[in-house]
Chains A and B, each alone.
Chain A
Amino acid sequence: MDKVGIVGFYQVKLYSDANYGRYEMIFEAVRGAIDSAGLKKKDITTAISCTNDYYDGRTISNCYTVEVGGGYMADESKVEMDGAHAVLYGLMRILSGNHKLSLVWGGSMASCFPYHAARLYETDPTWERPVAYVNDITAAGFQMRAYLEKYGVSIEDIAKIAVKNRKNASRNPLALQEAQNANITVKDVLDSEIYADPVTELMVAQPCDGVAALLLAPEKQALKITDNPVWITGVGYNQETYYLGDRDLTKSMSMELAGKMAFDAAGIKDPKKEIDLAEFFEAYAHEEVIFSEALGLVDMGEGTNLNSEIDGDIPINPSGGAIGGNPPCGTGLIRIIEAAKQLKGEADGYQVKDAKKAIASGQIGMCAQNNIVYILEGGN
C-alpha cells in the first residue's frame, strides 16, 4: 500500500453534557485540524464525515453539517459507522489519486439522546426483540462472562484494565472529566453500579459529547505540508456474523483478520516485537484484552497479564482509550489521532518513549462485530 500522511488533526475536549451546540463543536474540530496544518478551506479537496441520523436526531444528518464540516461546495460524503471507518473512506479517496487533501471528521453528542436505549434496536426485530431486551451492555456481559469462563480470568483482572485506562485518562487533558481518576482502585470499579453483571459502570466507555477531525494527504503532498507527518502504512478491516449466538465470543475473529490484513500491508511480521503502542476503541474493558490477543500482542488467554501501562511492555491506550471518553462516531477517529500524537512525541503527560510504530483501531456493533485496524508510523 502507498503510504498516506496524516498532516493535521484536532480533537475537542470531551464532555458528558457539553455547554455548546453541535455546530460549534464540529467547527472547532474541523477548523482546528486545518489550522494545525496551516491550511485553508480551499485546500480541502474531499470531506468525509461520520455521524448517525439517530444520534443527530435528523434525517440525512450530514445535510446540515455542510458549512461547519468543510463540505461547502466540496466533494462530500458521510459514513454512518465509526470515525475510523470514515478515515478508511478518506484514505481510499487519497489512494485513488484524485485528491490532495482529505478532511475526515466524526463525532456526536450522546447527551442529547439515550445511547444505550437506542442500541436496543440493534437486535433482530423478528428473532431477538420479542424474546428479550438485549442491548450493547447485555451483549458485553455475555462476552465478558464467556471470556472469564474460558480462561479462568478473574473479574478483578478485567477491572484492572479499567483502572489503568482511567488513570491514563487523568493525564490526558482532552479526556472526559468523569473518566479521569488518578487514584481509582480495582475496588472502586467493582463497587460501581452493575450495568449487566459482570459488567460494571466503570468498565464501560461512557458515551459523551465530542468531535474530532483529521487531515490526510498523499506522500508528496504531505511532505510539502509538514516536516513530520505520521504515515498510515497499513489498514485492515473485517466483519463477523451478526447473531451473537453464531460467534465464539471469547475471541474476536474480525479483529484477528483485520489485524492480519493491516500487518500484511505494512510488512509487519512480529507485532509483539514491532509494535510500540496501541490505541484501541474498547467499548468495554474486557474488549481491550480480547483485541490485544486477537492482534497477537499477547498469547491467547494471557491478555490480562500483559504489562500495558504507559511504561510497560506494550502500552495500550496511553490516552485512556475509549474508557477515557466515547463520543459515538468519533471514538475510533480519536484513537488514530492519539496514536499519531504519540508518534509525533506530542502526547504531553502520557508520552510513550521511543514510539515508532503504533496500532489504532475502531469498531462498531455488538461485541465489536466490525473492526478496523490502522498501522501508523512516525518519521520521514
Chain B
Amino acid sequence: MSKLTQRKSMDYIKKQYRETRKMPGSWYLSNYKYKYNITHLQPFLKKLKEKKLVGLKCSGCNTVYYPPRFVCGKCLVKPNRWVDLRETGKVSTFAIAYLKDPETGEIQEKPMVLVHHDGADTASIAQLNPEVDFKDTYIGMPIKAHWAENPVGGLMDVEYYDLMKDDAKDLDLPED
C-alpha cells in the first residue's frame, strides 16, 4: 500500500463539506406513450364485454396464462389457445397497503391481492371490494369477479373481486 498517495487523496476527502448546496430540480419524463399491440388480445377483450373470462394457453407447456400473455417465457412462443375460465378464484397472497389521500391526508387501509383464477396457472394483481374488511382477508380466500355495470371490453371491466362464502371446512387431522 502506498501511504503517500493515500494520505494525499484522503486529506482531500476527509475535509468537512460544511456547505452542500441542494438544487431543487426535476427530471420530468411523465409524457410517455406505452405502446401495446392488442390485436392478439381481441378474443379476450370481446369476451370481457360479455362478462366472460378467457385465459391463453401455451401449446408448448400447457400453462394457462391469465391475464393472457403475449409470449410464454418458458417456451419462447406465442401462446395461442384460448380457454374459458371461471370467474371465481382464490387469493393466492396479499399485502395490506396504506394509501394516503393527497388532499385530506386520510390514510386508507387497502388489501392488495394476487388473484388466482380457477382454471388458470398464473395469478394477477387485483383489488378486493372496498367493502371487504381487510382483517378478513386470508390466503386461499374464495373470491369472484365483480363486473362493471356496462363492460366496455377493457381490463377494468372486472372492477374488483367480491368475497364468496367459504363453506370449506378445515380438515380434522389426527394429532400425533
Complex Cα–Cα for A130 and B127 (A): 11
The A/B interface has a contact count, at CB < 8 Å, of 121
Where the two chains meet, the residues of B that have a C-beta atom closer than 8 Å to any C-beta of A are 1-2, 5-6, 9-10, 13, 17-18, 20, 25, 27, 34, 36, 65, 67, 69, 73, 92-99, 112, 114-116, 122-127, 139, 155-156
Q: Which 8 A-B pairs have the closest CB atoms?
A: A141-B95, A245-B123, A197-B96, A146-B93, A125-B34, A38-B2, A20-B17, A35-B6
Q: Does A142 contact B (CB under 8 A)?
A: yes
Q: Which of B1, B73, B94, B139 meets A37, CB within 8 Å?
A: B1
Residue pair B114, A245 in contact (C-beta under 8 Å): yes
Q: List 23 A-B contacts (CB under 8 A).
A: A31-B13, A32-B13, A35-B6, A125-B36, A127-B67, A127-B155, A128-B124, A131-B125, A133-B112, A134-B112, A137-B95, A141-B94, A141-B96, A141-B112, A142-B94, A196-B96, A197-B95, A198-B95, A244-B125, A245-B115, A245-B123, A245-B124, A246-B123
Could you say which residues of chain A place their CB within 8 Å of the CB of B20?
A: 18-21
Q: Which residue of A lies closest to B124 (CB)?
A: A245
Residue pair A196, B95 in contact (C-beta under 8 Å): yes
Q: Which of A38, A132, A140, A196 meets B125, CB within 8 Å?
A: A132
Mask of A111-150 contacts with B, CB within 8 angstroms, 1/0: 0000000000001011110111110011111111110010
Using known A-B contacts A126-B36, A141-B112, A241-B73, determine if residue A38 contacts B1 with beta carbons closer than 8 Å. yes
CB A39 to nearest CB in B, in angstroms, measures 8
CB A129 to nearest CB in B, in angstroms, measures 9
Classify chain A: how many residues form its interface, as a range. Answer: 35 or more
Residue pair A57, B2 in contact (C-beta under 8 Å): no
Residue pair B92, A146 in contact (C-beta under 8 Å): yes
Q: Does A64 contact B (CB under 8 A)?
A: no
Residue pair A145, B27 in contact (C-beta under 8 Å): no
CB B56 to nearest CB in A, in angstroms, measures 13
Residue pair A35, B2 in contact (C-beta under 8 Å): yes
Q: Does A9 contact B (CB under 8 A)?
A: no
